[in-house]
Amino acid sequence: MQLQRVTFGADGTVGTNRFGARGPRRWPRHVHDVHELLWDARGPLEAETDDGWFVVPPGHGLWIPAGCAHEVTAGDGVPFACTFLGGDPPEGVGGRTVVVTVVPAVAELLALLSGTDLRADVRRRVEGTVRDLVAPAEPGPARSTAGPATGPAAGLPLPADPALRAVARAVIARPDDRRTLDEWAEGAGMSARTASRRFREETGTTFAQWRTTVRMRAAVGLLASGMPVGAVARHVGYASASAFVQSFRATVGTTPGAYAGRVPAGRAS
């Protein structure tokens, strides 16, 4: 894994890169020497770092600090934006990967910073305003039994055990896979009791609760892409839309339809 250096101009901030709607894409594990902000995702966009597994919800961004190794996956046909920033991170963010708020004003300011005709003093003031407005997202309702990682700002922990981490990544890749941890353990050559104990010790939650959180976070990105609720339910492993709606409401705090209705204009297909 190599350090990917980003060269700054005289004014300090690299312009925003925009990735258009293409097929599924994956950027293998890498690291930058500056901070990175993934934002304006119009569908499933996820990243894995040492802080856990993250999904970028609509209206939010993912702050990845300089020097943090990460890999990024964009869903089929998902456009998004990527901005590199030097200097100090926003207050309250620090040196961790965290979901942050990206209000419309921030999006406009980031677009302004992409220009090359700003005076140096103006650019510095705009950069300062962006840092003032970017803040960690609220933890979320966490009203269900879905463990400590329900809120959108938290990274979902991954098991340290190589076999269990492989299981976790398989679930993330295919949230509709309904195999139990006992079935996964058998395939990994591990006893069900050992798998259950280690999974809870290393993630802070049970496998069932952890998988529910994976499914809900995957559902958020699919709803943002404009996928109908029934199709989202099937994609994340629910036999019926009603069961999915019930689980989504308990975990996220609202219904899938109401959540999709709050997606910023232009984000749904």
List per-block mean pLDDT (blocks of 10 residues) for the chain, which spans 269 residues: 54 69 84 90 89 87 92 89 84 85 87 78 85 78 41 76 93 93 89 94 94 92 88 94 94 86 51
Domain count, the chain: 2
CB 202 within 8 A of CB 161: yes
Q: Give the pLDDT confidence score for residue 122 in this predicted structure.
A: 86
Residue 42's CATH number: 2.60.120.280
Backbone angles phi, psi at 85, to 5 degrees: -130, 135
Q: Check whether residue 103 and residue 221 sit in a common domain.
A: no
- In what order do the strands lie in the sheet containing 52-55? 3-4, 25-32, 70-74, 45-49, 52-55
154 in any annotated domain? no
Q: Check whether residue 114 and residue 204 sit in a common domain.
A: no
Q: Check whether residue 206 and residue 100 sit in a common domain.
A: no
Residue 222's CATH number: 1.10.10.60
Q: How many helices (H) and strands (E) does the chain have?
A: 9, 10
Q: Check whether residue 9 and residue 119 sit in a common domain.
A: yes
Cα-trace Rg, the chain: 19
Q: Give the pLDDT confidence score for residue 128 in this predicted structure.
A: 84
Q: Check whether residue 166 and residue 52 sit in a common domain.
A: no
Range of the domain at 22: 3-133
34 in any annotated domain? yes
Which among 118, 133, 148 is the end of a domain? Answer: 133
CB 147 within 8 A of CB 153: no
Q: Check whether residue 79 and residue 181 sit in a common domain.
A: no
150 in any annotated domain? no
Which among 133, 153, 184 is the end of a domain? Answer: 133
92 in any annotated domain? yes
Q: Give the pLDDT confidence score for residue 141 in this predicted structure.
A: 47
Q: Check whether residue 121 and residue 211 sit in a common domain.
A: no
Residues 180, 195: Cα–Cα separation, whole Å: 11
Q: Check whether residue 125 and residue 173 sit in a common domain.
A: no
DSSP 227: -
145 in any annotated domain? no
Q: Give the pLDDT confidence score for residue 263 in this predicted structure.
A: 64
Q: Check whether residue 66 and residue 8 sit in a common domain.
A: yes
CB 130 within 8 A of CB 113: yes
Q: Check whether residue 256 and residue 184 sit in a common domain.
A: yes
204 in any annotated domain? yes
Q: What's the pTM?
A: 0.79
